């Protein structure tokens, strides 16, 4: 059963300017493993994290590092949740999170579906 959905879009040029202008933003938003990726990939991951927050619904206390975008077993993007993000997912009975990311024509976008275990 679908427990939540979320979508987000990021303007690549604006995101790149924000990273350049704000020292420490890359470290605040992304885990160490994510930081070395190119800007378009970081923008996609930022969009995915924003989309996940929307899909979770309740986001009080969630930190950016609580939601790491990783490469899943099949090579597809996936989330590794820790901290408050993992707690909220467990409280809501979310068993699986599906994420799709793309970047083209100056934007990055992500779509997230949170799936719960049927009652």
Q: Full-prediction pTM beyond 0.85?
A: yes
The parent domain of residue 28 ranges over: 2-116
- Tell me how far apart the alpha carbons of residues 73 and 119 are, in angstroms, rounded to a whole number: 27
The CATH number of residue 22's host domain is 3.90.470.20
Q: How many domains does the chain contain in total?
A: 1
In tens, the pLDDT along 75-87 reads 899 999 999 999 9
In tens, the pLDDT along 19-56 reads 999 989 999 999 999 999 999 999 999 999 999 999 99
Question: Which class for 65: exposed (0-12), middle (13-18), buried (19 or more C-beta within 10 A)?
Answer: middle
């Amino acid at each position: 059963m679908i427990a939540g959905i979320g979508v987000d879009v990021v303007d690549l040029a604006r995101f790149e300017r924000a990273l350049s202008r704000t020292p420490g933003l890359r470290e605040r938003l992304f885990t160490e493993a994510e930081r070395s990726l190119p800007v378009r990939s970081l923008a996609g991951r930022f969009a995915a994290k924003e989309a996940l927050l929307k899909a979770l619904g309740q986001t009080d206390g969630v930190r950016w590092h609580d939601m790491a975008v990783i490469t899943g077993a099949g090579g597809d993007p996936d989330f590794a949740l820790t901290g408050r993000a993992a707690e909220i997912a467990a409280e809501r009975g979310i068993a699986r999170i599906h994420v799709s990311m793309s970047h083209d024509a100056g934007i990055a976008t992500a779509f997230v579906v949170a799936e719960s275990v049927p009652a």
